[in-house]
Chains A and B, each alone.
Chain A
Amino acid sequence: NAGVMQNPRHLVRRRGQEARLRCSPMKGHSHVYWYRQLPEEGLKFMVYLQKENIIDESGMPKERFSAEFPKEGPSILRIQQVVRGDSAAYFCASSPFGLNSYNEQFFGPGTRLTVL
């Protein structure tokens, strides 16, 4: 059973360009979460999606960031007009269940975004 897959593993963008990060959840998991890890900081929640729905986007910056999880295909985290402060490791996690107390999440290897 393949784990959570993310691509690309490393992404370099110049200021003002767009970054697209992809995440394929584990087989059988319909809940996807995105987290950001800045240097010297812990993991911070960004957004929680279920197929075709955004459940919780309370951690997502209001501008330039968007996320989707279509009926078919991977979840996409999109960052428009990137700035240097967006440089970070972005992790995707998936779980078979969502809004319950035993919410074990399984993480992908992450995408390391560097903005020049």
Chain B
Amino acid sequence: TQLLEQSPQFLSIQEGENLTVYCNSSSVFSSLQWYRQEPGEGPVLLVTVVTGGEVKKLKRLTFQFGDARKDSSLHITAAQPGDTGLYLCAGVGNQGGKLIFGQGTELSVKP
């Protein structure tokens, strides 16, 4: 069974601080996606990483896929209150199709 573990589960920081969220597995994933979910809404796709070692940047967000394609990280620089939300990593299963989600990281950025 493929599993994804996210850490930390909860993160409360001050505006302007940097943070990193980790997504780890013992299994290889063909690709990994990061989503952000706000209360009462569905997850919104932020990025997809496909190649081992790949780094993608989205403004202040930097996403990295591990060389072995078993882990990924999301780094936010100079966090802002608008970054508050639930961040989810999800991997494409062995047989394609379904996404396997991590438990999520609840981020709160205080002004």
The answer to whether A25 has its CB under 8 Å from any CB of chain B is no
Is chain B's interface secondary structure helix, strand, loop, or mixed overall? Answer: loop
A91 to B35 alpha-carbon distance, docked (Å): 14
- Whether B42 pairs with A101 at a CB distance below 8 angstroms is no
Residues of A with C-beta under 8 A to B92: 101-103
- Whether A59 pairs with B43 at a CB distance below 8 angstroms is no
Residues of A with C-beta under 8 A to B102: 42
The answer to whether B98 has its CB under 8 Å from any CB of chain A is yes
- Whether B99 pairs with A91 at a CB distance below 8 angstroms is no
Segment touching B, from A11-19, A74-82, A105-113: A105-113
Residue in A41, A55, A104 whose Cβ sees the most chain B Cβ within 10 Å: A104
A68 to B31 alpha-carbon distance, docked (Å): 27
Q: Which residue of B lies closest to A41 (CB)?
A: B103
Interface string of A79-110 (1 = CB under 8 A from B): 00000000000010100001111111111111
6 contacts between A and B (CB under 8 A): A43-B99, A101-B30, A102-B30, A103-B92, A107-B35, A110-B40
